[in-house]
Structure 1
Amino acid sequence: MDSAALDRVGASTQGDINSGRILGASILIARGGQIVYRRSLGTVAADRPATDDDKYLLMSMSKSFTAALILRAVDQGRFGLDTRVDDLVPGFGTAGKGRATLRHLMTHTAGLPFGMVPPGVTPAQIGDLPRKAAAIAAIPAAFAPGARCVYTSGLGYDLLGHILVNTDPKGRNFRKIMHDDLFVPLGMTDSSFGLPLDDPRRVPVSFTEQNTGPTTPAMLGMFNQAFDADAEVPSGNAYSTIDDVFRFTEALRSRGTANGYRLMSPALFDYARQNHTGELPNEAFNFEVQARNLDPLIANFTLLGGYVRGTGHSLTSAGYTASPETITAVGGASTGWMIDPQHDLTVIYLSAGFIEGLRHFERLQRINDLALAAVS
């Protein structure tokens, strides 16, 4: 690794802090499973410098945790990728969603619309998984399952978390399943779904003055109050440190096994990491694409709760110079991880201070390309 090139990753992030785009960030870069660069920059709250052991809200990076245990259940034969969602969540098949399968949910092609909170559920109730699952099941199809791709934000993956509960042979709730079957076996001792509001290492969700908008108060209320110790939001309320996220990415870098624990089979991992949405665009970002006169965002969804780089020159959180097999996960507005198997490079980025929409994808693309530029 080129040390001067690695320093440009931190310099670029410091530039974002200096310009008021974000408040602070933690960055970890590893090559071949060995950490070669780490920095914690800026602040995560007033008079609180960023540190390596901060617990960040991972936002939609949480989906990769939920996806991992769904795939583990597939390996165990509890259900298959083509199992109808209605067989796992009774009542889901109404209103045009009858053809939707587990794989459709995982790839945002099940017919559900974009949304964080379904009709009939208040932001304060977002952590009530059974209530939310019932409301999601009742939503009419926005399109025929499999025909289009619309990132569902807090709907599809919350239903996947509910499926883990519905099919759990031990009768556990979602938070307990994640604790027992993912966090403890991988040594992720600082990770959880939900976190006490007064945890001293909790990083509060924040917006910089530059990025504050009309929805900011409602967003802050939901993330900093409703996401408490008991909240279960499989799509987005995992809390973790950068080192714990690295422990998880090591399991994926090793094709499903780490810390002596087999999370999923290599065969299923190799299938899951592929592009499962073909050339479909991710229509959830159509408004921003049109407003900014951008090219359509090609979805490139895997079954791992995130994306694959693929080929061609189109916006990708992996970085333009990443190998086609590179996989990523993105947490809306603030977080992301990337694993490039050809370069054996892992990059993890956790930040305080939201940058919403595709500008966060563009930031991750910049950070990952700078990291890839350091590979000799």
Structure 2
Amino acid sequence: MEKQAAILDWPSQQQQHAQLQQRRRVRRRDLALTFGWSLIGSFIGLALALICFGHTDARWSPLDRLRQLHSSFTATRDSFPTYTGKTIPQSDAAIGWRCIPPPPPFLLDDIRIATHPAVLAALANIKLALEANAILHKDAVSISIVHASTGKLFDFHSGRVRLNESATASPAPVDGDSIYRIASISKAFVVLEALVLSRQAHLKGFRPELTLDSRLKEILPEFKLPAAFKEEEGEITLAHLGSHRAGLPRDIGEFQIGSLNDIVYPPGTPNLLDDFPHNRTIEELEGLVSNADLIWQVGESPSYSNTGFSLLGVAVSKYHNKLWKQDKNFTAIMRDDIFTPLNMSHTFTGPIPPHLRKHVTVPAASNLVDKVFALSHDPAGGIFSTSNDLSNLLHRVLLAANPELISSAQRRTWLKSVHQFTDGISSVGVPWETLGAVMPDFSRYNIYSKGGGLPAQFTEISVLPEFGLGVVALVSIGITDEQLHAGANYSAPMGLLLQIYNTLAPAIWQAYNDILVEDYVGVYLSDDGIARISFKEGTLVLEQLSANGVDVLLKWDEVIWTEVGKRPRLYDVGAKLIGTAFEGQFRSTLLYQCAWTGFDAITTKSGWGMDKIVIRRAHKNGPMVLTYEPMNAKLYKVA
């Protein structure tokens, strides 16, 4: 009777159809309003961009960010909450805390994301802002936005390839094949090569197997530190090098002065950068390291180290040659293991190939475009690339449903932070420099980025993996040395990147939520069961699941009671459904709890956990079907 009453509580089929039509009309209205407001916002955004970008300076990051944070602290410190003596507050106020799950990973390649009206409106706003930046600055700028569902989603280019020549002599504009020195973005490729070798060695059964946790000394026995650091010498891992936590100096032996009086600004001739980087052999670099004290204990704190990445490049090159019984240098290894498989045809290290010289962007100010780095320095910053090629990297390795070159498990481990700074905003990965991103529902994520900077060229790549979003931003500056040293402004990749995320990420968040509502929210029925799924506070909620006369949510409470005794019910308000990487599979948990512990300890004889809910289409154009094996339930979505 309870089951029948529950079914009768719901409207008739005709009423349900009318409600569905009403929801569709409301949605069309909301989309129209969204587009309308976005159009209005575009014009407002253009005006704001002209103001904001007028003050954009590549030196804003990170110095101005620190100034901004300092000003914010100075202005607000007196209004900070009074410290209560409770490091971890425990009160009823905590009930308002939520843990919003990310979009189900199996939706990342859903093409509806790229065509959603909110996403299209956001891209239109971004285009206007970038056009405003191009009006204000005569730099060469290449922007690509990538999404897991489509690959490249958006492209923007402004400026000329040869900024050191007049527009009359060299009018060629930049495009997706225009080449920039990407400097320290090279570090991401070195870590990727380590992961590629790890997978190859595992599949081949080669020993010693390589992982990011491998000790450097095992891969590079000749690595030495001064005698006082003998213990630390044996503890440094590849992950320590890749996350700047090995304690090594930044640029060993590169910049040496007698006193601060040797630093002159504006720089004269010669200046500190004239010989950077020195043309050292690998053996010379290892010799310098063997005589240099550590500046931090191993694992203590990230401290940016080009030296560490030079060693990492030496280590992976040596391991590669042992694994494959070859004698390749770093340039050839990168080409054969990464650039060629990913169709990165305009990406290289070493001297510029003659057939690509016409594509190389040249800034107006002094630069290192023609500088040929030694093999010992290429891993830290020697790679040249394009927005097209870097888009391939982001999509095919970091964002696509099935990554190339590495496994999905390797990618999930790679896109993680390993050191959180106390500001609660920034953290460090291998080799990622991460910033916190807050969505409209206050869920928090990390944007994983890697920046590069050499004189007059500045670059950034970044991904927001939970939303399948990535951005490439490359800049060669169009102002002269005199203008630069006088403080003139130019385009800042980090500023451009942050504006793109601030505009586009909320739109992609909206698109995912709309898909969740469209596909999963509603009533599911069978002859002997009912389920109701709603979307509340950014989460799919299983409000009811009954089958064969059993209230499943009550049973989940009873499982808890068997351990703690009868208490007020927890699942009477519903259960949160959290999508997994397995298509259509959700795990349920308490509404105000993160995915940490569930009922998978209790399974059916076939291994189906009590917390597992599967929702898939019966066939390509068929209804969604909810399956729950512990009650032999198969329910069809009817509204």
Give the shorter-chain TM-score range. Answer: 0.7 to 0.9
Aligned to 1:29: 145
Choose the corresponding residue for 1:200, options 358, 361, 369.
358
Select between 81-90 and 114-123 the one with higher mean Cα deviation. Answer: 114-123
Note if 1:181 corresponds to 2:337: yes
Rounded Cα–Cα distance in structure 2 between residues aligned with 1:11 and 1:231 = 42
SS of residue matched to 2:128? helix
Aligned to 2:315: 163
Deviation at 1:256, TM superposition (A): 6.7
Change (3 A) 1:151 1:200: same
Change (3 A) 1:370 1:126: farther
Change (3 A) 1:104 1:229: closer
Is 2:438–2:444's contact at 8 Å kept on the other side of the alignment? no
Any unmatched runs of 5+ in structure 1? 208-216, 281-295, 314-320
Rounded Cα–Cα distance in structure 1 between residues aligned with 2:303 and 2:375 = 29
Note if 1:324 corresponds to 2:445: yes
Match for 1:150: what amino acid? S
Select between 187-196 and 62-71 the one with higher mean Cα deviation. Answer: 187-196
Aligned to 2:429: 302
Match for 1:186: what amino acid? L
For 1:79-118, list aligned pairs within 5 A: 79-89=210-220, 90-94=222-226, 96=229, 97-98=232-233, 99-115=235-251, 118=254
* Fraction of identical pairs, as percent: 20
Rounded Cα–Cα distance in structure 2 between residues aligned with 1:346 and 1:74 = 25
Any unmatched runs of 5+ in structure 2? 1-115, 203-208, 257-273, 479-483, 512-639
Rounded Cα–Cα distance in structure 2 between residues aligned with 1:301 and 1:140 = 23
Q: Aligned-residue CA RMSD in angstroms?
A: 3.3
Change (3 A) 1:19 1:137: farther
Larger Rg: 2
Select between 142-151 and 88-97 the one with higher mean Cα deviation. Answer: 88-97
Is 2:152–2:391's contact at 8 Å kept on the other side of the alignment? no
Is 2:243–2:428's contact at 8 Å kept on the other side of the alignment? yes
Change (3 A) 1:130 1:58: farther
Q: Deviations over 1:169-196 (max 9, x none)?
A: 2221000110111111122122111242
SS of residue matched to 1:93? coil
SS of residue matched to 2:358? coil
Count of aligned residue pairs for this structure pair: 332
Note if 1:249 corresponds to 2:407: no
Change (3 A) 1:276 1:228: closer
Note if 1:135 corresponds to 2:265: no
Rounded Cα–Cα distance in structure 2 between residues aligned with 1:118 and 1:299 = 28
**How high is the TM-score relative to the length of structure 2?**
0.47
Rounded Cα–Cα distance in structure 1 between residues aligned with 2:401 and 2:224 = 33
Change (3 A) 1:322 1:167: farther
**How high is the TM-score relative to the length of structure 1?**
0.76
For 1:1-376, list aligned pairs within 5 A: 1=116, 2-20=119-137, 23-31=139-147, 32-46=149-163, 47=167, 48-75=172-199, 76=201, 78-89=209-220, 90-94=222-226, 96=229, 97-98=232-233, 99-115=235-251, 118=254, 122-123=275-276, 125-126=278-279, 128-152=281-305, 154-168=306-320, 169=322, 170-196=326-352, 199-207=357-365, 217=366, 220=367, 223-227=368-372, 233-250=378-395, 251-254=397-400, 257-258=403-404, 263-279=405-421, 299-303=426-430, 305-310=431-436, 324-332=445-453, 334-353=458-477, 360-375=493-508, 376=511
Q: Which has the higher helix share?
A: 2
SS of residue matched to 2:343? coil
